[in-house]
Amino acid sequence: MKDSMKTVQILLSTYNGAAFVAEQLDSLLAQTYKPIHILIRDDGSHDQTREILKKYEQQYQMDVLVGSNIGVIPSFFTLLQQASDQVGYVALCDQDDYWHKEKIEKAVRKLNAIDAAVPAMYCSRVELVNEELVSLGMYPLHKRGPAFENALVQSMATGCTIVMNQAARRLLLQHLPDVRNVVMHDWWFYLVVSAFGTVVYDPESSMLYRQHAANTVGTGHTGVGRWIGRVRRYRKEKQYRFITKQNEEFMRLYGDQLDAKNKRILTRFLQSRRSLSGRIQYFLCPDTYRQSWMENMICRLGLLLNMV
């Protein structure tokens, strides 16, 4: 791979993405940063996705791995393992979004300011758009910075915005988790890197995050409706019910490597889950935080009621 240590390798997992994947690939190929290499794993598509990928593979510098349907989380872990050891950075990509042409350039500029020996990860805010890429507004700004205390109960790293250095990739590959205990791959990446390295959050949007029937982020509700909507999400969605399982998995794999501060924070969180009195104490005085007051209160109630 020419100029390999300057190369950014983009990891894209596809599944029945024929409707939007060509437009996404065009946005990757239009990046101002060069060189890039695109590594794609198709997760068992049965529409026209593979035919589209084959055409692009024949014309451009990209490689396509054809696999069976194992699901998005294992698919991205497979891509992380298959990524080159020789490139400078690795970026994650979804099949149905559209990247601003300066996305990689901005990420590399910020990551270049960090010692290459330090595990480092970039993520950013996104602009929400409809299927025709018409703006629906900006995703809410994360006003508190990335930190391990946040990563234990919330991911502020939208996967398709993530760019990481090789030190972060090596750290993530040290211990591969049981994916049944992982909420989502991007949350796991944020959790691990925030514990041992540096996470950079860019408050400016780096891409258009497409909303459609299979991929929706709600932003329109206010007041009581917003509270009700978020409480319902906590009751129904896997990501909230699996927070404790994910943190237990992280302790099992990385607990011995944590510094004293992070070990104390994680241990207290896990011990609080074992009894009502522990949950009450944690509700009153938590170490962890989510980004907004509302999210914090709902999360604390969820912890108190043993819903996570």
pLDDT digit string (tens) for the chain, length 308 residues: 445 568 999 999 999 999 999 999 999 999 999 999 999 999 999 999 999 999 999 999 899 999 999 999 999 999 999 999 999 999 999 999 999 999 999 999 999 999 999 999 999 999 999 999 999 999 988 888 899 999 999 999 999 999 999 999 999 999 999 999 999 999 999 999 999 999 999 999 999 999 876 654 444 444 444 444 555 554 555 556 789 999 999 999 999 999 999 999 999 999 888 878 777 877 776 778 787 777 777 877 777 777 76
Residue located via tokens 């009581």: 224
Percent of the chain's residues with pLDDT above 90: 72
179, 300, 182: which is closest to 234 by C-alpha? 300
Quick check: 139 and 220 in contact, CB under 8 A? no
Task: Please give the structure tokens belonging to residue 285.
Answer: 């005085």
Instruction: Please give the radius of gyration of the chain, using alpha carbons only, rounded to the nearest integer.
Output: 19
First to last CA, the chain: 45
Residues of the chain with CATH 3.90.550.10: 4-210
Q: What is the CATH number of domain 4-210?
A: 3.90.550.10
33, 26, 12, 94: which is closest to 56 by C-alpha? 26
- Beta-bridge partners for 210: 129
